Amino acid sequence: MDKLLVGGGRSLQGEISISGAKNATLPILAGVLLASESVTLSNVPHLKDVTTTIALLQSMGVQVTVDDKLNISVDGSEITDRRAPYDLVKTMRASILVLGPLVARYGEADVSLPGGCAIGSRPVNLHVQGLQAMGADVVIENGYIKARAKRLHGAHIVFDTVTVTGTENLLMAATLAAGETILENAAREPEIIDLAEFLISMGAKITGHGSSMIRIQGVKRLGGTEYAVMPDRIETGTYLVAAAITRGNIRLKRTSADYLEAVIIKLQEAGAKIHHGEGWIELDMKGRRPRAVDVRTLPYPAFPTDMQAQFCAMNAMSEGVGTVTETIFENRFQHVLELQRMGADIRLEGNMAISKGVKRLTSAPVMATDLRASAGLILAGLAAEGETLVDRIYHVDRGYERIEEKLQQLGASIRRVMN
């Protein structure tokens, strides 16, 4: 199993490019199932979760080709299988995103229930209830969600909880339903805007995306399109924290500060100087140790849960006391236990991690437990004394494209060790 060996103590300097957003690519790839013609996607990140989604689509009979510029052409106009098997779904919960498109287009879907997850129970009840409200018959049998519908119809759906993939699933389903669907208390994440724009480019009629009320007027058919995926705001935020934690000065290209306000405000509170313009963002810590900050995760536009592990790592070596409160997922603090093994002074109280910054973290062998937790541990390793060995980094490969190459480009000492 691959591990990353991270040498601490070097200040990150220089510039790198940010990849396309994982959490926009996955729903967009699922959305291809709605199209009656071929779709070409650019700025698709090369990630394990993307290859898993492509494998899932191919298992259904979707044709996928990649050209020399790494643009991906996907033809889901005719599929042979309407099943998402357990073997693929268990490695990536986002496979649930094929449920809405399959029922909407083919009237039939068998999608394995995702099962347990390292960051809490993460149910999919709201996806299922929404499809039922749109007229689907849904049963749970042999570990599968089996949904059937002649043609879905529009519905007025009010989500109990703000759910990102739940909003995406029903948004996609509604594009081909008969009549109007209104999604209330919808998630407002930028990736939902990207998905909606992609669907609109195929002929869908959607308004209100980016707000908590989305209206979809169903159409009979969606055509092909060419679409460029938005930049990854979580990857962007992760490298900004990497620079802050190492007291460095970096410039990130092919990205945007537009969707990162909550993260940028907290980095400024920590003492970072941040500048940005069209397509770029710069962070300069001017060689200073960050100040600890208080963050609380909430749905967009508030502070993202996918950035909390990175801030736990930063608070661990910052000046003063800081808190990280997790309100989206239960059990998303495994990285804290690993940070403690690196000398961090962090106390867990319910859903809050209270951290008294230490001057120096020390290296230790640590274990990545989920995607963002692994990013947090790598960042801690960059700031620690000595060499930190981060195990189980297949988690990080799910969501960060060429992380060690990009960090090396910024001057970090990091290499992949295989055994």
Helix (H) or strand (E) holding 71: none
Helix (H) or strand (E) holding 61: none
Strands in 319-402 per DSSP E: 321-325, 345-349, 352-356, 365-367, 387-391
Q: Which of 127, 209, 266, 406 binds ligand UD1 (CB under 6 A)?
A: 127
Helix (H) or strand (E) holding 254: none
Among residues 199, 233, 305, the alpha carbon closest in space to that of 23 is found at 233
Q: Is 235 in the site for ligand UD1 (CB under 6 A)?
A: no
Q: Is 161 in the site for ligand UD1 (CB under 6 A)?
A: yes
Q: Is 166 in the site for ligand UD1 (CB under 6 A)?
A: yes
Angstrom distance (rounded) from CA 7 to CA 10 = 8
Angstrom distance (rounded) from CA 102 to CA 98 = 6
Among residues 81, 4, 128, 103, the alpha carbon closest in space to that of 380 is found at 4
Q: Is 26 in the site for ligand UD1 (CB under 6 A)?
A: yes
Cα separations (Å) of 9 from 242, 250, 384, 386? 12, 16, 6, 8
List the catalytic residue out of 117, 200, 265, 302: 117
Question: Closer to ligand UD1 at the Cβ: 126 or 250?
Answer: 126
- Minimum distance from residue 41 beta carbon to ligand UD1 (Å): 16
Q: Determine the 3-state secondary structure of 134 from DSSP.
A: coil
- Minimum distance from residue 211 beta carbon to ligand UD1 (Å): 16
- Minimum distance from residue 169 beta carbon to ligand UD1 (Å): 9
Contacting ligand UD1 within 325-344 (CB under 6 A): 328-329
Angstrom distance (rounded) from CA 382 to CA 337 = 18
Question: Closer to ligand UD1 at the Cβ: 31 or 224?
Answer: 31
Question: Closer to ligand UD1 at the Cβ: 125 or 142?
Answer: 125
Site string for ligand UD1, 72-111 (x = CB under 6 A): ---------------------xx-----------------
Q: Applying CB under 6 A, which part among 74-82, 163-171, 202-210, 404-412 lies near ligand UD1?
A: 163-171
For residue 312, indicate whether it is catalytic: no
- Minimum distance from residue 106 beta carbon to ligand UD1 (Å): 22
Question: Closer to ligand UD1 at the Cβ: 124 or 272?
Answer: 124
Angstrom distance (rounded) from CA 139 to CA 116 = 19
Q: What is the contact surface with ligand UD1 in residues (CB under 6 A)?
A: 23, 26, 93-94, 122-127, 161, 163-166, 305-306, 328-329
